[in-house]
Amino acid sequence: MPLRRYRAETPGRCPLCKHGFDHYQNSSAGDLTECPRCGLLLVVETNEINIPRILRPIGTVEAKDAGFTVMERNQHGLYEKK
Ligand SMILES: [Zn+2]
């Protein structure tokens, strides 16, 4: 079931849609158009989940600066800090 986030197109006093609410719905069901509590018109908010995308390979220095521990595989198959 997909999760959608809705908020009122023009927020009123309704505690449900004033600041937005999450709604699980069947994928076959259409989007809500009106608030189930007050009847105001709703808009679907865009997905606020931040999904990082790697646009280019990250170098050793950048990874260390970002707080990662960089490991390197040695000739014996063991990993050592770089
Ligand atoms: Zn409402």
Residues in CB range of 51: below 8 A, 6 or more apart = none
Q: Distance (Å, rounded) from C-alpha 13 to C-alpha 15?
A: 6
Residue 21: predicted pLDDT: 93
Residue 40 in contact with residue 9, Cβ under 8 Å? yes
Distances (CA, A) of 42 to 25, 54, 62, 77: 15, 34, 43, 57
Residue 2: predicted pLDDT: 76
Please list the pLDDT of the chain residue by residue as tens digits (82 residues).
Answer: 678 899 999 999 999 999 999 998 887 878 899 999 999 999 998 765 666 677 787 788 888 998 999 899 999 999 998 7
The length of the chain in residues reads 82
Task: Kindly give the distance from the C-alpha atom of residue 5 to the centroid of ligand 1, in angstroms, as a whole number.
Answer: 13
Task: Kindly give the distance from the C-alpha atom of residue 76 to the centroid of ligand 1, in angstroms, as a whole number.
Answer: 64
pTM above the 0.75 mark?
Answer: no
Task: Kindly give the distance from the C-alpha atom of residue 43 to the centroid of ligand 1, in angstroms, as a whole number.
Answer: 12
Residue 56: predicted pLDDT: 80
Residue 65 in contact with residue 31, Cβ under 8 Å? no
